[in-house]
Chains A and B, each alone.
Chain A
Amino acid sequence: MKEKTKLERDIDGFCEVYPSFKYYKNYNKKFCHLIGNLDVCDLEGNYYFTFRIKIYLNKDKYPYSIPRIQEITEHIKRTNENHIDEEGFCCLDIEHILEKESRKGINLTTFYKNKVYPFFTNYIFKKETGDYANGEYAHFFDGVIQYYKEELGIDDFKIISNIISAVASNSIPERNELCLCGSELKIKQCHLIKINSLKSLSKSRLISDLINFEKFVNTNYSNQFISNKQKRTL
């Protein structure tokens, strides 16, 4: 008998824990999918609501790819505010964090538990209280800026750009050299761990972020310049 692949073993394990999910081997050439109920419950044994979802898995790339999640019962209104697109595909997290996980390799059950289940729980939490339990990322590129700010604990765009550039070009200072943040501390005593964590992002993402950061900085500075000039004219 042919030995099961990692994908098949993980799907078996997942369906054992969450038996409402049914596995469909051939969604298309590239993807298989699972369809089932996600029941929102708290850890005190209370049940709140059920969503029906599809989990798409890339047959060739798993575990080095992120499952795509589609809410199919349309219980969530398709708006940007709900982090869901018109077809019901959900933005579970900032792409950077998801990419880091996919490069390490995921396990379907752990991914469901840590990314998928909390997304729907958070939707119910927001619906009832008006706020997400742990805030949210700003939409589009503003969210990326927020990610770097929070990840590095640095607000200055120019410094963030310099750090991304150093990581992308593999030119992070040596441990005893000065930190890139301008603190005048040795980098090992300052941002080394945080900067190193960016190394698990793909080079293409770092470069694309760098370009967008530079555009953003230039636009911001030129807007500031125009507005200052307008003030002077007035």
Chain B
Amino acid sequence: MKIYNDYLQIIKDAVESDASNQIYKGLGSPVHSRTNEQFKAILNRVESKEIASEMKMFSEGLGRPINYNQQLGLHPSFAHLKNTDNVEEHYIVSVFIDIKGSTNLFKKFDKETNFLITNAIIKAGIHTALIFGGYIHRLQGDGMFLYFGDKNTEQKKAVELALQMVSVYTHFVTNDLKEYLMSQGIENIGVRTGIDLGKKEDVLWGNSGIGEISEVTTCSLHTSLASKMQSSALRNGVVVGQYVKDEILAEDFFSLVCNRPDKTESDRYIYRIDDRNFYYSQYDFNWEKYLKKQSFVAIDSNGNPVVKLPSGVNTISALKPVAAINKPYFNEGKNKT
């Protein structure tokens, strides 16, 4: 997707300037390592406080303001709970995203290159989350724990935004990123995601920890289940809980995890409390299909999703290869059914 071009360019520049590539360039010639200035220039190609240009155009098209002034572990709707004994009930959508196979990068590149690559992947993830109104709660290497929903957003809308964000980002990792890294001999890069909705009565917000070693976080079965569902997701897959599915009317985006060929009926529920008759199902979410049905996405001739950016940035000559397949003819009355 074009919106990730700048993030991908960081990764390309990082790989290009990796020590291993420098050695291969000429046997016998001296090895030039990346200078500190070059490292910083690559790192800051996309600024932290400003999303990349095409991503920005996309965001403007979506019409949602972006809140850059977030802090990890401090959801702005619940920041007033920081270092207090107060707690509060409020719904939340919890999202756990983890890049799989990224340790393979260490087999090939030096630690600086890996730092730049991981940073670009995380930056792309953070900016995508911000565009869709998400809150970054925690980062772990190239993994992310996000919240969707706040006091100004309806529960259903928060679920939709989480699914949209995850679909766009998963597409980036499984296409643009994977293709490029494969061309560099790095295989098996993928992403796994778990999403769940905790309803108001099931979620308690409060300060966890002591002093500055604390975060404003949720105590909820469904936050824990989101993390658990991430573990049960397939490579490049997304698993969601029953409550997420219930918010989306269309059935055809979800299939029970127990319907996978290698699973059994016992995998139907991610969690059960027999005494209370509580059985909670987990579903594979067809993010590709969901993505293709979003109004901000167009479908190209090959059936691939393309984000709609404002016109005027396109060069019409790029249409020629597709247009030239056609040579029209007119003979009145011969076209009707």
Contacts and interface: CB of A to CB of B under 8 A. Distances in A.
B326 A87 contact: no
Interface string B144-186: 0000000000000000000000000000000000000000000
B264 interface: no
A201 to B, nearest CB: 15
A80 B329 contact: no
A18 B315 CA distance: 25
Interface string B287-326: 0010011000011111100111101011110111111111
Interface in A26-66: 27, 30-31, 37, 39-48, 50, 56
A31 B337 CA distance: 8
B316 A125 contact: yes
Interface centre among A119, A125, A139 (most CB of B within 10 A): A125
Interface in A51-98: 56, 68-69, 80, 83, 85, 87, 89-95
B333 interface: yes
B1 interface: yes
Contact of B335 (A91, A113, A132): A91
A118 B301 CA distance: 8
A121 B326 contact: yes
Contact of B323 (A90, A95, A134, A143): A134
Interface centre among A31, A47, A69, A93 (most CB of B within 10 A): A47
B277 interface: no
Contacts of A17: 299, 303
Contacts of A128: 316, 319
Nearest to A117: B301
A47 B307 contact: yes
B330 interface: yes
Interface string B87-110: 000000000000000000000000
B225 to A, nearest CB: 29
Contacts of A44: 2, 318
Contacts of B323: 118, 121-122, 124-126, 132-134
Contact of B319 (A27, A42, A85): A42
Interface centre among A114, A118, A137 (most CB of B within 10 A): A118
A94 B327 contact: yes
A46 B313 contact: yes
Query: Mostly helix, strand, loop or mixed at chain A's interface?
Result: mixed
A39 B320 CA distance: 15
A131 to B, nearest CB: 10
B1 A134 contact: no
Contacts of A90: 335
A91 B331 contact: yes
A140 B331 contact: yes
B49 interface: no
B25 interface: no
B330 A83 contact: yes
B323 to A, nearest CB: 4
A27 to B, nearest CB: 8
Contacts of A40: 319
A113 B330 contact: no
Contacts of A124: 316, 319, 323
A93 B292 contact: no
Interface residues of A, number: 57
A129 interface: yes
B276 interface: no
Nearest to B176: A45
B300 A39 contact: yes
Contacts of B318: 42-44, 46
B28 interface: no
Contacts of B1: 45
B314 A18 contact: no
B32 interface: no
Given A47-B308, A85-B333, A93-B329, A133 B324 contact: yes
A91 B319 CA distance: 20
A136 B307 contact: no
A135 interface: yes
B299 A18 contact: yes
Contacts of B325: 114, 118, 134
Contacts of A30: 337
Interface in A4-26: 16-20
Contact of B306 (A18, A31, A41, A69): A41
A44 B320 CA distance: 11
B208 to A, nearest CB: 42
A85 B335 contact: yes
A136 B306 contact: no
B321 A43 contact: yes
Contact of A139 (B292, B299, B307, B330): B330
Q: Give 6 nearest A-B pairs by CB, closest first.
A: A39-B298, A17-B303, A133-B323, A118-B326, A89-B335, A137-B329
Given A42-B318, A109-B303, 6 more contacts: A31-B337, A41-B299, A43-B301, A118-B301, A118-B325, A132-B323
